[in-house]
Amino acid sequence: MHVPLWVWLVSSLVFLGLFVFDFYAHVRTPHEPTFRESAIWSSVYIGLALVFGVGLGFVWDWGHGSEYFAGYVTEKSLSVDNLFVFLIIMTKFAVPRIYQQKVLLVGVAIALVLRTAFILAGAAAISAFSWVFYIFGAFLIYTAVKIAREEHVEDEAAEFQENRLVRVLRRVLPTTTEYHEDRLFTKIDGKRFITPMLIVMVAIGSTDILFALDSIPAIFGLTKEPYIVFTTNAFALLGLRQLYFLIGGLLKRLVYLSQGLAIILGFIGVKLVLEALHTNEVAFINGGEHVAWAPEVPIWFSLGFILVTLTVTTVASLVATRRAGRVTAGTPEGPDAG
């Protein structure tokens, strides 16, 4: 189905309006959100995403509606993994708690702009070259294996390395070492400096590019509609600020989240390769003919697989951390122990 340009424009304006509303309603006045505030607004944004998906199903069709929900759940779960890195960056830059909302909102806005560029480029590549699915699939499988084999690092903040863009920004522009409230620029002795506030915003926004390399191919593995890819990414990112404060303490308890995401990315990678084989046009594979034995994975199966994987991952993580807590609590301390 062709999505008219006006639908794209209206959707973009709505998302822009939500970001503006978020800024003036919650972020403009620096404060640390309460659990209640974070829970309410996180629920609101998730509710909006669900309502949009239902509306999409009624207006378009439920095949595309299912693709949207599968994509949204995948992007949302990947965005939760983003929060680990955001937390590390906040710790590394020692961002005062009351200013973290602004950092997150601006960083997420930068991320959405960059992701939109990735989405448009990905859609153009897919429409022009059918073999792109082989590349996307192979990359996701590689990423899944890499994530699954990564070792947990206790002091993630110490391991964090600034990306090249942030390092260049520090070298090119005069930067203060201290925060000046939530200002991005300040003047000292008549000379203009950028503050760490701007640096950390750029760090979060640019770091998300790395996540986009995983998430964009993953969502294209569930739907070929750029509009669905865009809206799932936008809704997943929209509530990220609230989610950061809502589950900040829970993040360290999701010890198996990376493994769960690795399974999901691996599954989507295999799905992409199978789909590429099913519609194969590459000359050196099966003589350029479609591979008849390659099955098409239905979207309902993909959605179910993703939901089950996330549920099992979450439950296993909480059980494991609870057991670890009991063991720690029961371990005697001191020289007389034992």
Give the pLDDT band of residue 161 (cuts 50, 70, 90).
low
Q: Is pLDDT at 156 greater than 60 in this prediction? A: no
Q: Is pLDDT at 158 greater than 70 in this prediction? A: no
Question: What pLDDT, on a 0 to 100 scale, did the predictor assign at position 317?
Answer: 87
Give mean pLDDT, residues 86-90.
80
Q: Could you read off the pLDDT of 55-76 as tens digits, one per residue?
A: 999 999 999 999 999 999 988 8
Question: What pLDDT, on a 0 to 100 scale, did the predictor assign at position 151?
Answer: 62
Q: Is residue 200 part of a domain?
A: yes
Q: Is residue 151 part of a domain?
A: yes
Residue 67 near residue 218, CB atoms below 8 Å: no
Q: Could you read off the pLDDT of 309-319 as tens digits, one per residue?
A: 989 998 998 88
Give the range of the structural domain holding residue 147, as residue numbers without chain letter: 5-328
Give the pLDDT band of residue 330 (cuts 50, 70, 90).
low
Q: Is residue 203 part of a domain?
A: yes
Angle at 273 between CA 271 and CA 276, to 5 degrees: 110
Give the pLDDT band of residue 338 (cuts 50, 70, 90).
very low
CB atoms within 10 A of CB 303: 20
Mean pLDDT, the chain, integer: 82
Q: Is pLDDT at 79 greater than 50 in this prediction? A: yes
* Buried/exposed code over 198-237 (b: 16+ C-beta within 10 A; e: otherwise): bbbbbbbbbbbbebbebbbbbbbbbbebbbbbbbbbbbbb
Q: Is residue 281 part of a domain?
A: yes
CA of 165: how far to CAs of 38, 214, 215, in Å? 31, 20, 21
Q: How many domains does the chain have?
A: 1
Range in 8-17, 56-65, 101-110 the model is least confident about: 101-110
Question: What pLDDT, on a 0 to 100 scale, did the predictor assign at position 155?
Answer: 47
Higher pLDDT, 83 or 272: 272
Q: Is residue 335 part of a domain?
A: no
Q: Is residue 333 part of a domain?
A: no
Nearest Cα to 107, choosing from 128, 90, 126, 124?
90
Q: Is pLDDT at 78 greater than 50 in this prediction? A: yes
Higher pLDDT, 116 or 84: 116
Question: What pLDDT, on a 0 to 100 scale, did the predictor assign at position 206?
Answer: 76
Question: What pLDDT, on a 0 to 100 scale, did the predictor assign at position 178?
Answer: 82
Question: What pLDDT, on a 0 to 100 scale, did the predictor assign at position 48?
Answer: 95
Question: What pLDDT, on a 0 to 100 scale, did the predictor assign at position 32?
Answer: 83
Q: Is residue 336 part of a domain?
A: no
Determine the Cα–Cα distance for residues 102 and 201; give it in Å rounded to an integer. Answer: 9
Length of the chain as a residue count = 338
Question: What pLDDT, on a 0 to 100 scale, did the predictor assign at position 3?
Answer: 87
Determine the Cα–Cα distance for residues 65 and 302; give it in Å rounded to an integer. Answer: 13
Determine the Cα–Cα distance for residues 211 and 115; give it in Å rounded to an integer. Answer: 9
Q: Could you read off the pLDDT of 180-232 as tens digits, one per residue?
A: 888 888 888 888 888 888 888 888 877 777 777 777 888 888 888 999 999 99
Question: What pLDDT, on a 0 to 100 scale, did the predictor assign at position 70?
Answer: 92
Give mean pLDDT, residues 103-117.
85
Q: Is residue 132 part of a domain?
A: yes
Give mean pLDDT, residues 304-311.
90
* Rounded percentage of the chain residues whose pLDDT exceeds 70: 89
Q: Is pLDDT at 15 greater than 90 in this prediction? A: yes
Structure tokens at 250: 């829970």
